[in-house]
Amino acid sequence: MAITDKIYVKNHRQLASQLETSFPKSAFAGATLDLLFTGNSLANLDSTTQDRVLDFAEDFLDCDCKAHPYCGCAERKFIQYLLELRAQGFGPDAIVDVMGDDYMLYAYSGDILSFLDQSVRTLEAAEALAKTEADRSRSQELSEAKRELTNG
Ligand SMILES: [Zn+2]
């Protein structure tokens, strides 16, 4: 399961009642994206929630792909967002707090932790591969990316 399958809408029940409908808790579920980001749902949400939903749409759902919002761009951008927070020195708990403030989303910090671990392992594998290919600059780049993720 991708980390984006484990990102949830905060105040889910409250939102569902404002919208007078039910939708999945998972933020990146197709039905959630459809409901919150297409159609007229926004008007039924309180203004704080509207702002967060709009921010999310602006930051992650701004592509022009035909398959939008099912093209995968949102998930890719969100993963980038998580890695950037880590590179800025945020730990898993702090990352969960930030996504709550930014977009009214939440995740379990344990899931964020395993995602970050996995990302570092992926970088390590890529780094090792780049070394064997004598691709120095690529290897250096990856090593720097890894340092950003691990030092915090
Ligand atoms: Zn796209």
pLDDT digits (tens, 9 = 90+) for 75-93: 999 999 999 999 999 999 9
What's the CA-to-centroid distance between 69 and ligand 1, angstroms?
Answer: 7
What's the CA-to-centroid distance between 55 and ligand 1, angstroms?
Answer: 17
**Global pTM value:** 0.85
What's the CA-to-centroid distance between 40 and ligand 1, angstroms?
Answer: 21
CB 100 within 8 A of CB 10: yes
pLDDT interval class at 60 (50, 70, 90): very high
How far is it, in rounded angstroms, from Cα 55 to Cα 61?
10
Q: Which residues lie at CB < 5 A from ion ligand 1?
A: 63, 65, 71, 73
Mean pLDDT of 51-71: 91
What's the CA-to-centroid distance between 44 and ligand 1, angstroms?
Answer: 26
